[in-house]
Amino acid sequence: MKALEAKYEAQKIAFGPFVFQTCIAMKDLGIMAAIRKARGKATLASLSQDTGVSDYGVLVLVEMAVAAEVLTLNEEGQIDLTKIGFYLHSDMMTNVNLRFTNDNCYKGLFNLTDSIKNGKAEGLKEYGPWKTIYEGLSQLSPELRKSWLEFDHYYSDDAFDDALKIIFNNNPNLIFDIGGNTGKWAIASCNNSSDVEVKIVDLPGQVELAKKNIENTTTFKDRISYHPIDILKPETEIPGGADVYWMSQFLDCFSESEIESILLKIKKNAKKESKVFIMETFIDNQDYPAAKFSLVATSLYFTAIANGNSKMYSKSSFEYILKNAGFKVDKEYPLIGDSYHTILECSLV
Ligand SMILES: C[S@@+](CC[C@H](N)C(=O)[O-])C[C@H]1O[C@@H](n2cnc3c(N)ncnc32)[C@H](O)[C@@H]1O
């Protein structure tokens, strides 16, 4: 890269938040949708008329978006989305990431330096008075909770169908869904098999919400049970009796030493023949650069907002922790579903 190009790229970072907020504003004000609808024929005046935004408002946003290569503006004054703009407008993954960044991370990330210095999620105070985001999930405003859940579900829902086939290969009678959240996996498991039972293991606030959701929307009341627990408290235990311990996007919520202690809690009461299935989006096991970029960025959400000490891990880190905790990986299912996830099938050594 030439010096002039590098200087230009550096300005894109220096003014990165301006570009980001321009995109959010254009979406929220309906400008992006109006541009898409006009198929290359939008003008500054038509956008102002279609959206009710002032001429000044449309102008400053369009100028920034053109400079950022989100829009084009031709000599006839016609405005269109570029390919990047098209993804920002229409692509599901991009929109889930944008909303999550804006609603759940933007204010918190301002505290990243202090979070790194203090080893604590200093940005969490922007959202509520909790020690971790997980304690606050059940208390987030409906809008923020929606963005958080859409982000969370986007990165697990697509994998559930393939995951069910893998987990039910061994016909388990009892599954513990550790970090069961809203109960999506428990419900999917009960839909998948007419006699399986599932126990959701999660924080008390989450368990309450999952229970309400399951009792109000399904007939699986008798097959789904609950174990409210703060898994990090030394005195808490994970009960025995499960054929399968299922952890989907759960262990990345913890530091390496906490992951090891959770695995040791499972090991303490597990039957010798129990299986542990771990589903994660590993940073060293991705096909697309956009996926890897999203994952390493997500690590900083953990640093500044979620809990201050966890991240998106590489598969090799997990293999190392599992070995230390006395587990072996029997089988690996790489990139299942629509396709960022890996499942590790593990058992006690
Ligand atoms: C990222 S979500 C994963 C949800 C779900 N398994 C999925 O695949 O979409 C992590 C879950 O772990 C739970 N969790 C976080 N910290 C916990 C703790 N200390 N004890 C018990 N559960 C915890 C959260 O409440 C949340 O439901």
Mean pLDDT for 267-291 is 95
Cβ within 8 Å of residue 337, ≥6 positions away: 158, 159, 160, 161, 162, 163
- Is 305 within 8 Å of 256 (Cβ atoms)? no
Mean pLDDT of 198-203: 97
> Which of 34-38, 69-73, 290-294 has the lowest average pLDDT?
290-294
The two tokens of residue 214 are 């399951």
- Backbone phi, then psi, for 239, in 5-degree steps? -65, 165
152 CA: nearest ligand 1 atom? 9
In this prediction, residue 340 has a pLDDT band, given cuts at 50, 70 and 90, of confident
Measured from the CA of 307, which atom of ligand 1 is nearest?
A: 16
Which alpha helices (DSSP H) does 102-141 contain, by range? 106-109, 112-118, 133-136
Confidence of residue 80 (pLDDT cuts 50, 70, 90): very high
Segment 104-152, tens digit of pLDDT: 999 999 999 999 999 999 999 999 999 999 888 888 999 999 999 999 8
Q: Mean pLDDT for the chain?
A: 95
Give Cα 158 to chain centroid, integer Å.
12
Quick one: average pLDDT of 36-45? 98
Please tell me the distance between residue 319's alpha carbon and the centre of ligand 1 in angstroms.
21
The residue-averaged pLDDT of 161-187 equals 95
What does the alpha-carbon distance between residue 214 and residue 179 come to, in Å, rounded to a whole number?
15
Tell me which H or E stretch contains 48.
helix 44-51
* pLDDT tops 90 at residue 330: yes
pLDDT of residue 12: 97
- The atom of ligand 1 lying closest to the CA of 206 is 25
Predicted local distance difference test score (pLDDT) of residue 170: 86
Supply φ then ψ for residue 78, to 5 degrees: -90, 140
Indicate whether 200 pLDDT > 80.
yes
Distance from the alpha carbon of residue 281 to the mean position of ligand 1, in angstroms? 15
Pocket test of ligand 1: the residue of 135, 181, 248 to mutate, having most ligand atoms within 8 Å of its CB, is 181
Angle, in degrees to the nearest 10, between helices 3-14 and 16-28: 50
Q: What is the pLDDT of residue 138?
A: 83
Q: How confident is the model at residue 68 (pLDDT cuts 50, 70, 90)?
A: very high
Q: Which residue in the block uniquely carries the two structure tokens 């299912």?
A: 333
Q: Rounded to whole angstroms, how far apart are CA atoms 65 and 56?
A: 14
Ligand 1 centre distance from Cα of residue 252 (Å): 9
Nearest atom in ligand 1 to the alpha carbon of residue 252 is 1
Query: Has this prediction a pTM greater than 0.75?
Result: yes
Tell me the CA–centroid distance for residue 206 and ligand 1, in Å.
8
The answer, yes or no, to whether residue 339 has pLDDT greater than 80, is no
In this structure, the strands spanning 341-348 and 275-280 are antiparallel
Residue 202 has pLDDT above 80, yes or no: yes
Closest residue by CA, ligand 1 atom 16: 134
Q: Ligand 1 mean position to 302 CA, how many Å?
A: 13
Model confidence at 180, pLDDT cuts 50, 70, 90, reads very high
Nearest CA to ligand 1 atom 14: 179
pLDDT at 337 over 80: no
- Say what the pLDDT of residue 300 is: 98
Q: What is the mean pLDDT of residues 286-293?
A: 92
Ligand 1 pocket test, candidate residues 100, 131, 206, most atoms within 8 A of CB:
206
Could you report the per-residue pLDDT of 210-239, keeping only the tens digit for each? Answer: 999 999 999 999 999 999 999 999 999 999
Domains, in order of start, for the chain: 3-90 (1.10.10.10), 94-348 (3.40.50.150)
Which atom of ligand 1 has the smallest separation from the CA of 180? 6
Ligand 1 contacts (CB < 6 A) are 134, 137, 152-153, 156, 179, 181, 202-203, 206, 229-232, 248-250, 253
* Residues of the chain above pLDDT 70, percent: 99
The one-character DSSP state at 328 is: E
Q: Quick one: pLDDT band at residue 279, thresholds 50, 70, 90?
A: very high
Ligand 1 center–CA 176 separation, angstroms = 13
* Whole-angstrom distance, CA of residue 302 vs CA of residue 251: 12
